[in-house]
Structure 1
Amino acid sequence: MELRQIKYFIEVAKREHVTEAADALHVAQSAVSRQIFNLEEELGVDLFIRKGRTVKLTPVGKVFLERMIHAMNVIDNATQVVNEYLDPEKGVIHIGFPSSLTTYILPTAISAFRERYPDVQFSLSQYAYRGLTEAVASGDVNIALLGPVPTNLKDMEGTVLFNENMVALLPANHPLANKSSIALYELKEDSFVLFPEGFILRELVVKACMQIGFEPKVSFEGEDIDTIKGLVSAGLGVSIIPEITLVDTLPRETVMIPIKEPKFTRTVGMVVPTNRQLLPTEKLFYDFLQNYFAHLENF
């Protein structure tokens, strides 16, 4: 089994089309077909169901693809480790992140890090909350920034960088808009704008409301922070969102009001694997984040 065969196999499986895979690999279609045939001959099984140049993975092909993607991640990481040991300040950092950290936390941290290590490159991938831990587990990323920080993870470790407040975002003409702070229960009759079901920030808000005796009435949903802020700005409801998402970006015709009761916060931090080492450059960034936010917490 050759590395080239595995690369061709993964590309064909991803595109489900031999010619498109060949174009992406910049090789002849016949070369791809020949290598796939040789791989199947060596393994003694059919990896694809063929319909012309269009293909679908067989059941065993799906299992083989999963294992080969993992194997290629290991090989790529090993190659990168060698390069980074020669110069960790010129490596690549693979990070996963959710939409709630894109407006301030992630750009600020990366900008501060690159002032010290300007030659480091970043590979950034956005995921839904639960997709972040899955990406770390599969090796697609080695560091996931997220909030809240999960606990009791298999083969992963969570580190809290800081705690942040959840705040109310209200239309500017809301009856409570002039208050300096509010109790969450004061919003029990309002319509809410929240993330769809299955999103962790929705779960946090619903749980907090239920604990004080009401279930929020959700009138509209948005799959990212900017959409939610826009819907509140249009007067379509109120929302509860992380305070950090409003730094320098308070939408027009809205007000941000702290929640005094109950105390409503979330942890923000990172998850890394425990069953494999971070690459040298990633370890630099991991240590930097802990020191950076520890320093901010002191002020």
Structure 2
Amino acid sequence: MELRQITYFMEVAKLEHVTKAAESLHVAQSAVSRQIYNLEKELGVDLFIREGRNVRLTPIGRVFLERMKQATNVIHDATREVKEYLDPEKGTVRIAFPISMAAYTLPTAISAFRELYPEAKFQLKQALYHELMDGVEKGDFNLALIGPVPKQREKIKCSILFTENIVALLPIKHPLAERPFLTLPELKDEPFILLPEGFVFRNMVVNACKQVGFEPRVAFEGDDIDALKGLVSASLGITLMPEVTLIDNLPRLTVKIPMVEPRVTRSVGVITPKERELLPTEKLFYDFLKRFFARMDRFQN
């Protein structure tokens, strides 16, 4: 089995078309077909079902693809590790993050890190909560910021970086807008603007409301934090969100108000694989993250 065969196989699996895969790889279609044929012959199974010009993976083909993704991740990491061993300050950090940390938390940390290591590079991936954990487990990336920090999983190491307050965001002309603080029960009759079902932060808000005796009436949903801000700005409802998402970015015609009784908080941390060592530059950034947030007062709520 050759690495070239695996590369061709994975491209055909992704595009489900031999000709398109050949064009993407900049090789002849016959070369791709021949390598796939040789690979199937060597394995003794059909990896694809042919449907005219299109192809799709067989059940065993899907299993083989997942294993090959893991294998190629290991190969790529090994290659990078050799290069970064010689000069970790010039390597690449692959890190994933949720929507709520896209505008301020991660960019602030990266900016400070690159002041120390200006030649370090980053590959960033935005993902949903469970995708972050699955990606670290499978080796798609070795670092992920996450909030709230999950309970320990078998293959994941969790480190809390800071705990942040969850605040209310209200239209500036709302009857409660001039209050110095709010209690959650005071919002029970308000129209809520939340992330869609499936987002962990939405579950946090709903569960916090249920704990004080009501279920929020969801008037609107938005796919990201900026969408929620825009809907509140248009006076269509109120929302709760991590305070850090409003630093230097409070929407026009809105006001943020601290929450008390209960005080709603979210832990924010970084997850890494237990079964794989971080690459040199990733280890450099991981250690930096823990020092950076430990001394940042605005993150220590």
TM-score norm. by structure 2 comes to 0.98
Say if 2:130 is the partner of 1:133.
no
Task: Find the aligned partners of 1:82 and 1:17 in 2 and give their Cα distance.
Answer: 35
1:195 is aligned to 195
1:220 aligns with 2:220: yes
Q: Specify the alignment match of 2:205 in structure 1.
A: 205
**Once superposed, what is the RMSD of the aligned Cα atoms?**
1.0
Q: Give 1:152 shift.
A: 2.0
Give the Cα–Cα distance (whole angstroms) in 2 for the partners of residues 97 and 53 of structure 1: 38
In the alignment, which residue of structure 2 is the partner of 1:286?
A: 286
Q: Within 5 Å, which residues of 2 pair with 1:111-260? A: 111-260=111-260
Tell me which residue corresponds to 1:64: 64
The alignment of Structure 1 onto Structure 2 pairs a total of residues equal to: 299
Q: Which residue of 1 aligns with 2:2?
A: 2
| Shift in Å, 1:24 | 1.2
The CA deviation string for residues 69-120 of structure 1, in whole angstroms up to 9 with x for no partner, is: 1000011111111111011111111101011001110110000001111111
Query: Which has the higher mean CA deviation after the structures are superposed, 202-211 or 50-59?
Result: 50-59
Following superposition, which runs of at least 4 residues in structure 1 exceed 3 angstroms of deviation?
none
* Cα distance, 1:173 vs structure 2: 1.2
Consecutive unaligned residues of structure 2, counting only runs of 5 or more, are: none
Q: Is the 8 A contact 1:222 1:228 kept in 2?
A: yes
Kindly state the Cα deviation for residue 151 of structure 1 after the two structures are TM-superposed: 1.3
Determine if the alignment matches structure 1 residue 33 to structure 2 residue 33. yes
Match of 2:110 in 1: 110
Equivalent-residue separation in structure 2 for 1:279 and 1:58 (angstroms): 35
- The AA in structure 2 aligned to 1:233 is S
Distance of 1:156 and 1:4 partners within structure 2: 32
- Structure 1 stretches lacking a partner, 5+ long: none
- Determine if contact 1:162/1:297 at 8 Å carries over to the other structure: no
TM-score of the aligned structures, taking structure 1 as reference length: 0.98
Deviations 1:173-225 (A, max 9, x none): 11100111111111011010001111111111111111111111001011100
Query: Identity, % of aligned pairs?
Result: 62
For 2:261 and 2:176, the matched residues in 1 are separated by: 15
Instruction: Report what 1:85 is aligned to.
Output: 85
Q: CA offset at residue 295 of structure 1?
A: 1.3
